[in-house]
A and B are shown apart, each in its own frame.
Chain A
Amino acid sequence: MAAQRLPMHARLAGLLLCSGVIASLAAAQTLPDYLPLLPAIKQKAITADPHKGYAVKLLKPGIYMVTEGAYESMFVTTGKGIVLFDAPPSFAGHISQAVAETSKEPIVELVYSHLHVDHIGGAGLILKEHPGIEILAEEGTSQFLREMQDPSRPVPTRTFKDRYTLRVGSLTANMTLGHWHSPEGDLLISIPDKKVVMAVDAFSAGATPFMGLDLTMNMHEYLKFFDQLQAIDFDVMVPGHHSTPATKEDLAIAKSYVTDVNRTVTGILGQDHAALKARALQKYGDNAWAVASVLIQDQVDQCAREITSRWSARLEGVDIWAASHCHTALVYAEWDVGPR
């Protein structure tokens, strides 16, 4: 409600941030400095029509991406109804209108890429507008949603285990379960005859991954994801965030960034930290967690400085998230991989 008095951008942001508008934090926070956005990347962004609040982009014949500037979903016309992939709550209220702009076909099926609220929390609304549509998800996601009983994420009507080929009219979409992001699993969705793929929350075009390497809960699988995607013959990808579809070149850049973070932190772990360790022991004594924490903080900071210096001119968000990315890679390098 309060959001309606704010300018369009604020409403958008409020929605994209799924706001629960009740109280306010202490306003006088001093905000840190971040580098400005890169002009070359800004240029590629698809801007939503400020009056409508969204943009529809034709990716390939019959395949469309919808975005409000921060999230992306996809829909496909099949001759036998529209298949919708994801329903982010930030623009779910506009999806029916976006579809109607391009096709007279009704929405007949909704696919969940994974269970996170920010990508499928508009599904309750879609189902209300289009009662009786099928909702398809992988079994791990379905199980979690059955447990949650969340009306904004209705329980799927159809599930499959590990892999499935969805055929509706002219559409053939191959879906394979992955584990690069959420504990319950993610879908790698490929439309082979159109060379389009959708794989949400692995990386973005032109920007670094979000906090915690796109919040991955499984760094081991996340690192494998880039080669798995590379092996698929595609030329357009819907990554789920920002407003730009990705290309194979974006994938190569993202892989190179993540590989650099991983190598950098591994190299730092292999260095001699005895001097800092001695100082920390002197100061904290038997407070073992304190000793460990200053060592880890020092390693993360060093990694973030290196990554920021190498990548700030190539991707957006490097100075914002590099430390968080280094942290995620450090946990993997130290506890799962260990010293070599």
Chain B
Amino acid sequence: MIVKLLVALLATAAALNLAAADAAPATDTSGLPDFRPVPPAIRSRILAADPKKGYLVKELKPNVYLITDGGYQSLFVTTGKGVILLDAPPSYGSKIVSAVAEVTREPIVELVYSHSHLDHISGAPEVLKVAPGIKILAEEGVAAFLRAKNDPRRPVPTETFRGQYTLRLGSALIEMKHGHWHSNEGDLYIYLPARKVLMAIDTLPPGYAQFMDIDLTSDFHDYLAMFDKVLAYDFDVLVGGHLGFPGTRHDVEVARDYTLDVYHTIKRIHDGTDQAKVVTQAAARYGWDNKMALFRALLDPMMDECAREIVSRWSEKLASVDVYARSHCHTALIYARWDD
């Protein structure tokens, strides 16, 4: 339910392009915290979905089309031998078939899962209703997870590969490579070399700071390594899977610099903290044996300080920094303290 809700509201918010908080009335009785509005330079890049249809189809490159509802993004590719769908987000799952039909008469023949998360692939049954018997392709880690889940919302892949795979159909050549920046079961770099389009879902939302917990990464070590891997591809359009528009190489560089700043900031604060002193002060209040309380008294101020710095340096360059900066500092702190 809540996934649908969130999805719907993300979509509605972006699609309607409502007047944001800067236009809020002086007497705010919502009881909700204040956040900075989306900077105008970023808001102007948002691709508005048709409010009646609830989605937008945009030709990114010849034969390569983006579908977005403002909250989610997926791709499809025409090949002369049928259409390949790359992801099927449930937020517009029932509209994918008509979105494809707007631009081509080719039938849908194949669906690729970028990773196992519901919010990007559980529109698959809606597609299968209209196009039964199509191939579903996924990396083996994702396929193993979906076989174990046996979840009707995420049909088990009919074809799998391990590590990497080149999908050739008609005029299309799509290179896929396994990564680990986001989900436990693995993620895919999906690259169309002839079109210089790279799809790498839940790496970064161009123009915005990442979603909570650095886009929910389950492996910050590999997340940090992801930026160089992305930039090593010869691409000029990046599809990250979220929010209102695809990204450029510059967006990737900005996200990399933001993430490295979060990491270096929390590491500097952590390593520079006189931990014995902070803990001794806290022990006067909680006692030496309440170690969990001592830990919070130690870690909370580090994250607060990190968030203040990050918000002050980045709020003009990226949208929504103040919403999740502390969460990003939290993710980086766990890495800096326990793994690094």
Q: Which A positions have Cβ atoms within 8 angstroms of B?
A: 2-3, 6, 9-14, 16-27, 29, 31-32, 34, 36-37, 42, 45, 69-70, 115-118, 144, 179, 182-183, 207-208, 210-212, 215, 217-218, 220-221, 242, 269-271, 273-274, 277, 279-296, 299, 316-317, 320-321, 331, 334-339
Contacts and interface: CB of A to CB of B under 8 A. Distances in A.
Nearest to B118: A338
B153 interface: yes
How many interface residues does chain B have, given as a range?
Answer: 35 or more
Contacts of B277: 24, 27
Interface in B78-131: 116-119, 122
Contact of A293 (B222, B272, B324): B324
Interface stretch (B12-20, B155-163, B250-258): B12-20
A221 B185 CA distance: 11
Given A42-B289, A285-B37, A292-B9, 4 more contacts: A183-B221, A273-B2, A292-B211, A295-B2
Nearest to B4: A339
A312 to B, nearest CB: 13
A289 B320 contact: yes
Contact of B334 (A215, A271, A317): A215
Interface in B220-246: 221-222, 243
B295 A292 contact: no
Given A22-B271, A292-B6, A336-B116, A13 B18 contact: no
B213 A31 contact: no
A288 B71 contact: yes
Given A37-B287, A287-B38, A281 B9 contact: yes
A279 B13 contact: no
Most chain A CB within 10 A, of B10, B23, B290, is at B290
Closest 6 CB pairs of A and B: A14-B276, A285-B20, A285-B18, A19-B275, A289-B320, A338-B118
B53 interface: no
B34 to A, nearest CB: 9
A335 B272 contact: no
B271 to A, nearest CB: 4
B275 A20 contact: yes
Interface string B1-41: 11111100110111011111101100010111101011000
Contacts of A282: 30
B153 to A, nearest CB: 7
A25 B294 contact: no
Interface stretch (B55-63, B190-198, B296-304, B309-317): B296-304
Nearest to A29: B301
Contact of B320 (A27, A270, A287): A287
Residue from the set A2, A242, A269, A320 with the largest chain B CB neighbour count within 10 Å: A320
A17 B1 contact: no
A279 B5 contact: no
12 contacts: A13-B280, A23-B273, A31-B285, A212-B334, A218-B184, A269-B2, A279-B30, A287-B13, A288-B13, A292-B6, A336-B118, A339-B1
Contacts of B14: 286, 288
A285 to B, nearest CB: 4
Contacts of A2: 274, 276
Contact of B339 (A31, A115, A317, A334): A115
B283 interface: yes
A45 B305 CA distance: 34
A151 B33 CA distance: 46
B134 interface: no
B17 A286 contact: yes
Pick from B2, B20, B279 the residue with the most CB of A within 10 Å. Answer: B2
Contacts of B323: 287, 289-290, 293
A13 B118 contact: no
B43 interface: yes
